[in-house]
Amino acid sequence: MLQILRPRASPVVLHAARLPFNVAPRYRSASTLAEDVRSDSTFRIPLIDFTAYKQATSLSEKRRIADDIVNGFKEVGFVYLTGHDIIASETIDRVFKKSAEFFRLPDETKGKLAWDDPRANRGYVKVGRERVSESSMSPAEIAALRTKAPDTKESMEIGREDHPMFRNKWPQENEAPEFRQTMLHFFQTCHDLHTMVMRSIALGLDLPEQFFDKKIDRQDHNLRLLSYPPIRTSLLAGDGQARAGAHSDYGTLTLLFQDSVGGLEVQNPHTKHYQPASPIPGTIVINAGDLLARWSNDVLRSTLHRVVAPPAQKISATEGMTPARQSIAFFCNPNFDAAIESLPTCTSASNPSKYPTVTTEQYIVGRLAATYS
């Protein structure tokens, strides 16, 4: 598979010939996205340049990009976004560097910051404690799956810093210099991008552009730093084993930053087969979560995805070792007290609301409580 380096500070020009087979730039017009995703051989994740939305001088110009984004979430549930200058490449590089430094800390040091409350959703999660899952699975099914095939990753969970009840769990400054300030700056820039993308989604769903602004402004988000340590291939050979099992995300959007190792796979909603979502320089992978799907009455898709092991390096005649992998996920959420009910433009007499009203907190805390041991 084509190996693509993580974005650097220099600008990247995206040529169609260099893109992974399952990605299409916005200018592709030979067939529609809806047609292409019905076959694994033509399945693609749309690549959208957000520059035109940010620089637009009229609502009609914004609407063209908004329609592309909404169409990507309708048909695939995922898009690659480029032109996202709100988050500089230097900032992303620094976050990866500080994340790697954190995970190299002794287990005893990280263990003092252990995750312990699904309402807070803050702190360190050791390898094997989490088992991500599908929204349809029961707590008992998730517990059985966690025992059989826990996710082979560790993570650090960071929430908004000014929460009135819950506090982030930070390492000491002498243990991880500049870790805290780096992550707080990144948290804010991710929120700013989330706000702009949600404005484009509002336009694409025939809502006022600022429709979501007051429903997402408290920044009840979750920044997750992820480390996938090297692992012997024999440990990944069991039924259901994966670096991160098939799952959907909980909130509105997820902003995913990948390193060059790769391993993310997206389920084709039509064939149910998984397709690679390879790293592309200068882009962020963005997918719709369960609450955005629910808000849109399933007009937008919360698509299953997973992380599989990349090709391993042979260490014996019968054994291999997968490379380490890093990624950073910013899980965007509505305000925790926001009432999530089907949007007026996504329902009709012939397509009534499928879901009862639920608050963000009720939904997310319930999912988190079932996810962790």
Which are the contacts of 177, defined by CB distance < 8 A and separation ≥ 6? none
Dist. CA 249–CA 90, nearest whole Å:
27
Smallest CA-to-CA distance from 294 within 220, 208, 364 is with 364
pLDDT in tens, 238-290: 544 455 678 899 999 999 999 988 889 999 999 999 999 999 989 999 999 99
pLDDT in tens, 338-365: 999 999 999 999 999 999 999 999 999 8
For the segment 204-224, the average pLDDT, to the nearest whole number, is 98
What is the SS3 assignment for 156?
A: strand
372 exposed, middle or buried (CB, 10 Å; 0-12, 13-18, 19+)? middle
pLDDT in tens, 88-136: 999 999 999 999 999 999 999 999 999 999 889 999 999 865 544 444 5
Using alpha carbons only, how large is the chain's radius of gyration in Å? 20
For domain 23-371, which CATH number applies: 2.60.120.330, 3.40.1190.20, 3.40.50.720, 2.60.40.10? 2.60.120.330
Dist. CA 166–CA 336, nearest whole Å:
13
First to last CA, the chain: 36
Q: CA 209, 216, 227, 313 torsion: positive or negative?
A: negative
Smallest CA-to-CA distance from 268 within 41, 49, 87 is with 41
> In percent, how much of the chain has pLDDT > 90?
68
